[in-house]
Amino acid sequence: MVAQSVILTPDELAAIKGQALAEYPNECCGVILVRGSERHLMACRNIQDAKHREDPVAFPRTAGNAFYMDPRDVLTFSRREAEGFRVAVIYHSHPNAGAYFSPTDIEQAAPRGEAHYPDATYLVVSVVGPDVPAAAAYRWNATARTFHRIDDGQLLGPDRDSGPESSRLMAAAERLIPGGVNSPVRAFRGVGGQPFFVARAAGARVWDVDGRSYIDFVGSWGPLILGHAPAPVVRAVNEAAGRGTSYGAPTPQEVEMAEAIAGAFPSMELVRLVSSGTEAAMSAIRVARGATGRDVIVKFDGCYHGHADSLLVKAGSGGATFSIPDSRGVPERLAALTLTVAYNDLDAVSRLFRGRGSEIAAVIVEPVAGNMGVVPPVPGFLAGLRDVCTRHGALLIFDEVITGFRVAYGGAQALYGVRPDLTCLGKIIGGGLPVGAYGGRRDVMAHVAPLGGVYQAGTLSGNPLAVAAGLATLRVLRQGDPYGQLERAGAQLERGLRMAAEKVGIPLTVNRVGSMLTGFFTDGPVMDYASARGADTARYARYFHAMLSRGVYVAPSQFEAAFVSLAHTEADLAAAEAAAADALAALV
Amino acid sequence: MSVMVYIPTPFRRATGNRDRIEVGAHDVGGLLDELERSFGGLKGLVRNDQGEVHHHVNIYVNSEAIEALQGLRTTLRDGDEVTIIPALAGGTATRW
């Protein structure tokens, strides 16, 4: 059975039908509250009759006023939000109680107006017999400001179940780890359902703890350009571990890594290793502020540069998925120092500089955006940023955490021929272990301690295992024509997706640069955060589960990239294309 | 007089995602004035232009609906909890 995007268990459906029959001819209503794997169905009272008697004008007896949930019940479940419950489903029984559930009925049942609970599923259930799963479910699309139907004609989403062992582990994880995960997007909140727990991985494939395997296009969110557990990397890590896991003192391999980075990125004349992309971006900002003596940073809506306070403003990725423009806990006075502009809007950047150019320390940009889904720079955008920054004495920072060694060995700056002042790296240079790096112009980096007064440090910076994994990865990337292979594989996948979507008439805009791509469910074009947000995320959620049930793991969010690795074989790509064609056909 | 106001999900877009807000006011009407002053987005969501609470909005003081008390003139005491809840209602052709 194709995985559904509606989360409703058979028991819950039976309970709702039972309630509906008991309350007939009045409609029944209620909610399903969810906290992690815990689910709680709360039947609510329909007081439409009483409201009608009280005020027949405001509450007429029409199909459009079929139920009015007792506010005391709303109060009760609202209070449970404080305990961490979320209103996942708001249901009521079908107005035409018991008669039929035709396509017209389903259409009429679509909620009107704005969603009070934009993240909930609005469900209309028919009371036709306990064995008929007739229902229609709707989700709010915040961009289109309308409800979209999200079920496939029959209800029941238990098939989104992630396997018994994964479920058990998730329940255990949720007791100890916020949301059960150590990074929010892993919780599948952007697509619903529960994540699978990974047992092992090799090449292009991941196996979960229930023995299911998936062709992996997430690739640990970008680092695994060679695929999982490539022999040279595993060997290098094993050997390094035998020599000790950390010294907190300089090693020869750090010099080799700095040489490899500077060789690939001539703009990085001095380079400092850190332990994550977040650290790299946070440090680059500090250096830019320290070197220029200015405080203001410019970033682009939907670009994500890790979760440092200054950069968690209009960020994409987890932020895009959860519609959290700013994280709580980021002081407003700090966020005020981060100005945001639409991606690819050079005019807006120029206007900003005309007004406040003398305050701006740096512009930080993903030269190919990857965290609102893949959005390439329009011609002239990066060169234009270079020019504006130079004229105003601001620094240009390329966040190449994703694109570095991904879109070309020398990153996006080699691909587009634009030289930034500072560059942030991560992901691939760690070969799947935690590493980040930042570097750039010698005179700017000379501000970093111990040379200069900008402090930045790390117990595990330049960790020998991570450096060994990174060096082994880069060695493979210097042999043969890996980027040609990645380009061909990416192009094949892009073509397959486009053709499959066209065939079934689903609007899909595929953005791709080399081996990173995103298929946005929209007519497009997608060239900034606003147009990315126009994508139909409910449809993406269905696509995600349809792919997962066909053994293909793509990102559990519309606003992320798919990554092709050198481990994806012709057969893997063909299987993924076939799965996509089948999945897209099932969405129509 | 300081009371805690609980803001449910549907209204949090107007309060910068805050779910609890401490407000100093002597009665419910004054509390709404104060809230609307601090969070302009709440204007029109809770009361209409005439200052009446919308049909589809219910206000509770310590779990007691204000209709059963003194409406907008219901006086507040230190430590009271006020909850503003929009109705969940619908059918085939209306707001949920």
So which residues of A are the catalytic ones?
Answer: 304, 399, 427
Q: Structure tokens of A574?
A: 């063909």
pLDDT value at residue B61: 93
Identify whether the C-beta of residue A454 lies closer than 8 Å to the C-beta of residue A238.
no
Residue A331 sits at the chain B interface (C-beta within 8 Å): no
pLDDT value at residue A571: 92
pLDDT value at residue A2: 31
Strand order, beta sheet including A360-365: A270-274, A436-440, A422-425, A395-399, A360-365, A296-300, A338-341
pLDDT value at residue B1: 72
Cβ of A64 within 8 Å of Cβ of B86? The answer is no
CB neighbour list of residue A52: distance below 8 Å, 6 or more residues apart? A59, A60, A61, A65
Cβ of A67 within 8 Å of Cβ of B19? The answer is no
Cβ of B92 within 8 Å of Cβ of A66? The answer is yes
User: Per residue in A340-373, pLDDT tens?
Assistant: 999 999 999 999 999 999 999 999 999 999 999 9
A59: closest chain B residue by CA: B55
CB neighbour list of residue A576: distance below 8 Å, 6 or more residues apart? A215, A217, A493, A496, A552
Q: Around Cβ A486, how many Cβ atoms within 10 Å?
A: 23
How far apart are the CA of A304 and the nearest CA of chain B, in angstroms? 21
Torsion of CA B9, B13, B17, B22, to 10 degrees: -90
Cβ of B58 within 8 Å of Cβ of A87? The answer is no
Give me the average pLDDT of each 10-residue run along chain A (588 residues): 49 82 83 84 90 83 78 88 86 63 63 76 73 70 76 52 83 90 87 90 94 94 98 98 97 98 98 97 98 96 90 62 57 87 95 95 98 97 98 98 98 98 98 97 98 95 98 98 98 96 95 98 94 90 89 94 97 93 86
Residue B95 has pLDDT above 50, yes or no: no
Q: Around Cβ A182, how many Cβ atoms within 10 Å?
A: 10
A203 φψ region: left (φ > 0), alpha (ψ -120 to 50), beta (else): left
pLDDT value at residue A185: 87
pLDDT value at residue A56: 85
pLDDT value at residue A95: 56
A110: closest chain B residue by CA: B92
Identify whether the C-beta of residue A508 lies closer than 8 Å to the C-beta of residue A552.
no
Structure confidence at residue B96 as a pLDDT band (50, 70, 90): very low
pLDDT value at residue A322: 36
All residues of chain A having their beta carbon less than 8 Å from the beta carbon of residue B63 are 72, 75
Residue A117 sits at the chain B interface (C-beta within 8 Å): yes
Contacts within 8 Å (CB) and 24+ apart, A244-253: A244/A464, A245/A463, A245/A464, A245/A465, A246/A459, A246/A460, A246/A463, A246/A464, A246/A465, A247/A464, A248/A459, A250/A462, A251/A462, A251/A464, A251/A467, A253/A464, A253/A467, A253/A468, A253/A471
The secondary structure of residue B52, as a DSSP letter, is: P
Q: What is the 3-state secondary structure of A48-105? A: HHHHHHHCCCCCCCCHHHCEEECHHHHHHHHHHHHHCCEEEEEEEECCCCCCCCCHHH
Say how many CA atoms lie within 13 Å of A552 toward its Cβ: 25
Residue with tokens 């109680």: A97
Cβ of B19 within 8 Å of Cβ of A82? The answer is yes
Residue A83 sits at the chain B interface (C-beta within 8 Å): no
Nearest to B95 by CA among A231, A19, A67, A113: A113
pLDDT value at residue A331: 84
Strands (E), A441-577: 509-513, 516-520, 552-553, 562-563
Q: Which of A63, A72, A122 sits opposite B96 (nearest CB)?
A: A122
Cβ of B83 within 8 Å of Cβ of A67? The answer is no
Cβ of B87 within 8 Å of Cβ of A69? The answer is yes
Residue A333 sits at the chain B interface (C-beta within 8 Å): no
pLDDT value at residue A577: 94
Residue A174 sits at the chain B interface (C-beta within 8 Å): no
pLDDT value at residue A161: 61
How far apart are the CA of B51 and the nearest CA of chain A, in angstroms? 18
pLDDT value at residue B85: 87
Say how many CA atoms lie within 13 Å of A175 toward its Cβ: 5
Residue B68 sits at the chain A interface (C-beta within 8 Å): no
Q: Structure tokens of A271?
A: 């380079």
